[in-house]
Structures are given as C-alpha cells and as structure tokens.
Structure 1
C-alpha cells in the first residue's frame, strides 16, 4: 500500500508499505480522504510541533474517512463495504482519566499522526489503516468521504464550545479564522450565540467564515483599530475563543472579553508572551478555559455531518490525489488560497 511519511522538515516521501495484520477486535479500512491539519503542516514545514520532534518517519493525518475492507471476528457494527469516519483516538478505557470521563487525557492514548510519544503514533495518510472497531463510526453512503473526514476538526470545535458553557443569546468572538476557528463559529451558532465575530489577518479565511455564519469579520492587519469598540467599557464580548495559536491573539481575547466573561484557549500558543495582559484575567474576573481534542464530541460531530445539521462544504478548498501530495501540502499552507485541503486515495 502507498504510505506518506514525513522524514524531517520539508521531507515528505510516498513509498510502498506492507499492510498490517488485524486482530479479532480490529478493522481494516481503505482510506479515502485525509484532511491536512495545522499540526501536519508544522511537521512538514519544521519537522516538529512545539516540543514534539520527528525522530523517525511519521505518517501524518488524523482527519480521515474510508471504506471497510475487512473486519475481525468480534466486530459486529460494521462490515466490508461500509463507509466510516475514523476516530483518531485509541484510548485505553482504564486509566484514571478515561474512568473520570476525560479520555482526551488518556495516559496510554494512541492518536493518529503524532510525534508526542516514542515510538511515534502513525497516522492515516496511507492507502489502508488498521484500527480498533470502536474507532469506526458508520456514515451514510451518500455522505462524501471528504465531508466525513471533517469529523475530527468539527469534534475539536464542538468540545471547545461545550467547555465554554451556555452561549445562548451571547456575543462570541473567535480569533483565528482557519478551519478550527471557522468550525468553532459554526458550533457556537448551533449552540445559540446571537452575534458571531471572526478575527484574523487574512481576508480569504475571513470570507470563508462569513459564508458559514459569522455576523462580523475583522481583519486586524488592515484595520488595527478594528477591536477598539469591542474592548471599550471593559469589554463587550461574552465568550472569546483563541484559535490562532499565538499570544497576540490571546491578548486580544482578554482585552475584548467583558468582566466575568469567558476566554477559551484552543490553539497551541507560540510567539512572545510579552504584552499579553494576563493580569486582566484577574482584574476582570474572567473564566479561562483550556480545551484539548475531544471526548464524546466525535460521535456528535459525525452525526451532525451525516444528518446535514452543519454544512462544512464551504470550507473544503480542494481534494487532491495522493500522487500530488506535495502540492496538497503547499496549497494547505497558503492561507490566501486555502481553508481545508484533503488528500484522497
């Protein structure tokens, strides 16, 4: 089978790899679509994501869907030919975090396409993948594979919105209008937010957010005073989501959030923290929430996609065959042209 592997910064290779055997509890899936995520781009561009450094070839890809090829003897909920979305998290179910309902912090998790552990956890950007049966979530035959592969990033957004508490009738701002930011806006709208503000430095991504429900868009690169009105009077925003992964974005969230409002950090922060008004968290009695991956939200996400509750198709920029995977990564890295790029098999 074809397998994509990142060997280091800007060193992505496609080669043949022998298929894995399956156990009685496992399923062999023909991968059909894999989304390129921000972490995949960091591994490709820099050979690392924060402290997670590639030390051996890493197959990326944790946003995936496909078609069942073979099932183990103990698997009954899917059969060969079924379309499935693939939950990228294989959790143990027995550690203290799994037992307290926080499986996103499982001490023994295997998560597709991550160098956070050694040996690295290989991802789904390959022709076939073997997963545990519980990682396969059936989807209708009419749901395109590329849409089903949005299950993972949408689950991240749903988890963040769930962590924020009630959004009914509230003013919500998302800083960072990439795919996660746009999906968070969609999830916030579903949760009843009345005003949805998207903030970024790229017009292309802001336009995509407007297509999926943003009531206001602000480009702070071309309009540096764009947040002034929202920061007035100690802040006008009820709930703010940091989805850019930068301290400057977090600073803007803190500035515009009203006293006793909520700031939710989704992004992995980078850049300098100098100038970020952390003391305002105390001064304004803000609730500051960190949110990581998802728990039950993956099942919710796939259900919403399957029933058409949320239409993510405006965020799909391109589906690129694996033969052109290098072009797919270059396109995904260009925020002036792309939101979500899928690699297809």
Structure 2
C-alpha cells in the first residue's frame, strides 16, 4: 500500500523578491516532537530582509527556506514521549533551539550561545526551516502552553514582546525613570508598552513617521510624548535616564547617545549592519554612559504570556494588519512600509477563504 505524503501550505523564500506559497512535506515527528497546527504568524524584519535581499546580515540564503519564527497555534499531536503540552493545547513557540557549543558564554544567558539555532534562519546550511506553514513539527521543549483565556491572536505577539521584555530587563529597574525610545516600529512600541508596565515615569518616543508615533502614543498612554527623528536638538534635550535604541541604524544610535543623561544607560536593541559605525562614542565616555547590548531573549516569553493573560500588558494597538497566509507577499510589502503599518500578522486558518 502506497504511503500518502502529508504536506502543509507554507511561505517559502527562494531569493530576493521571490516568495512563494508552496506545499511542503510534513516530516514524521520524533519521540520528543509535537505537531502544531499554526494559527497566526507575525512578520518580522528578518522575514522582510530575506524577501528583499536574500540575506539578513551575514546570513545568506543558499537554498529555498520556509520563513517565519513568530508563531502560535494548537497542538494536533503531542510528543510521543509524554513531554510537552497535550493535543488540543493552544501554544506559543519559543523559536530558539539550544544546541551544544564549545564557545564560552554565561550559563544563565543561553541567548548568547553561538550554538543556538533559530527558526527561519539562513545562518547555517542546511538552513533552519521556519514556521510559516499550516502545520509544523517542533520539539516539545519549544512550546509554551497559553494561560487559560488568552486568545491566540493576542498571544501572537509573545515572541517579539519577549525581545522587548529582555531589552527592558537589561536596563534594570525603570520605576520613576525618564525613558527615551529611538525607533518606534513594532519592537520600539513593544518596549514602550513594557517600560510603561515596569513603572517608567515618562516615555518619549522617536520615529520618522506618523503611524508608529500614533501607535506609541496609544500603547504608552498616558505617559508617552513623541518626537520626529529629525528633531535632533529636542531629542538631545530629553536627558533620559534610560534610552532604548530600536531603529537599527547608526543615526538612531547617535540620537540615543545624545539623548541620554550623564551616567545614563543606552540599551542597543536594533541590530546595526556589520562593520564599524559612525557614532559619537566620545560622549558615551565623557558622560560615563553604559552602552548595553540586548539580543533576542531567554525565557522571558513565560513572563510575557502571564502579563498578557492577566491584562497588565495590552499590546492590541500594535497589530495593524492581518492577512490570510496565502496573501503573504502582500503582507510582506505592507510590513516593509514603516510609514503605514505596525505589526502585520498572517492568519494560517484562512487558507480556504478568498476574503
């Protein structure tokens, strides 16, 4: 009797300007792996870079790859060894797989291990396939059961919110602090929401466009003020205790350094291009600023899910568009236009709909 191959509809990048909706095989799960029916996926900047440029920094696409790492869904088949959530459980996905590495890194900060692989990444070859598919197979250890009552659409922001939560934690206690956020796209907006929850006394958001500043005001209300990125003197006058740089370019980092108070902290969240960057480091020295890196996250996703469930973290203003997954190319185009969008979601449950 012939075995019928199980397939899933997936968003596959083949190269620059070449994203296709294709059927891909769903492999047999191992004993410690579960099958998940994906509900929502969030479009990340890395997905956009693979689509536009065929690369993210030094991670260069060498073969077709399923995109996506920000996903939530429902377990359709639990891991055979009994680990992880049971079938029928709504879950968020932690997209990092902790592999062995001989490189030194702090034991309590596995996000710094070069041995970690990330869903939807071309950093290695063969590439690590992503999760933008109607059905995926993942180790049960990568799954987080959603708290009772937490909607899948709300939980779809758990992964990027964990990046923001990690960044805020890198700054220490924000209670009563004056905060500046340079770059108010989805990650910047998430930082604003989490900084507000953490007790920041005031938050100033900076961006080039109206839409992200409107979102910043909504998600940070009532404490958020906004400035245009071109208002250099006004940014420098903020005199912030803590600055989060989330624009991912050297001009944003320059503004962040100038906007920090003497003895302040600058948390660098946006991933700048490889190589030297022209920024005013002399100011960081003479003002004794702490320049702090922030990269991905560890287990902050558990805190994020709890905060979303208890209502202490409201991220609803950040989602501006939801597209059926079969319209992924349109979704990528909209998400790449920072002047008109916040977080863009793909809905993998609408495959049979033409709406």
Q: TM-score, normalised by structure 1?
A: 0.93
Q: Does 1:49 align with 2:56?
A: yes
Rounded Cα–Cα distance in structure 2 between residues aligned with 1:133 and 1:272 = 37
Q: Aligned to 2:25, what secondary structure does the other structure show? A: coil
Identify which of 226, 236, 241 aligns with 2:234: 226
Structure 2 distance, partners of 1:117, 1:272, is: 20
The CA deviation string for residues 9-51 of structure 1, in whole angstroms up to 9 with x for no partner, is 1100111111111111111100110000111111111111111
Distance in structure 2 (CA, Å) of the matches to 1:204 and 1:290: 27
* 1:271 Cα offset (Å): 9.6
Q: Structure 1 residue 105 and structure 2 residue 107: aligned?
A: no
Say yes or no: does 1:33 pair with 2:34: no
Q: Does the CA contact (< 8 Å) of 1:59 and 1:113 recur in 2? A: yes
| Kept in 2: contact 1:158–1:297 (CA 8 A) | yes
In the superposition, the TM-score normalised over structure 2's length comes to 0.91
1:139-183 CA distance string (max 9 Å, x none)? 146433222121110100110111111211110101000010011
For structure 2, list consecutive stretches of 5 or more residues without a partner in the other structure. 1-7, 349-355
Where 1:143 maps in the other structure, the secondary structure is coil
Q: Within 2, Cα distance between the matches of 1:272 and 1:229?
A: 29
- In structure 1, C-alpha distance between the alignment counterparts of 2:101 and 2:89, rounded to whole Å: 29
Q: CA shift at 1:68, angstroms?
A: 0.4
- Residue 152 (1) aligns with residue 159 (2): yes
* CA distances 1:40-72 after superposition (whole Å, capped 9, x unpaired): 111111111111111111211111000101012
What is the alpha-carbon distance in structure 1 between the residues aligned to residue 104 and residue 311 of structure 2?
32
CA contact (8 A) 2:322 2:344 kept: yes
Partner residue, 2:85 = 78
Matched, 1:282 2:291: no
RMSD: 1.9
| C-alpha deviation, 1:306, in angstroms | 2.3
- Any gaps of 5 or more consecutive residues in structure 1? 231-235
Give the aligned partner of residue 303 of structure 1: 306
Q: Does 1:143 align with 2:143?
A: no
Return the match for 1:253 from 231, 237, 256.
256
Q: Say if 1:97 and 1:103, in contact at 8 Å, map to a contact too.
A: no
290-299 or 76-85: which moved more? 76-85
Provide the aligned length of Structure 1 versus Structure 2. Answer: 339
Separation in structure 2 between the aligned mates of residue 272 and residue 70 of structure 1, nearest angstrom: 45
Secondary structure, aligned partner of 2:234 = coil
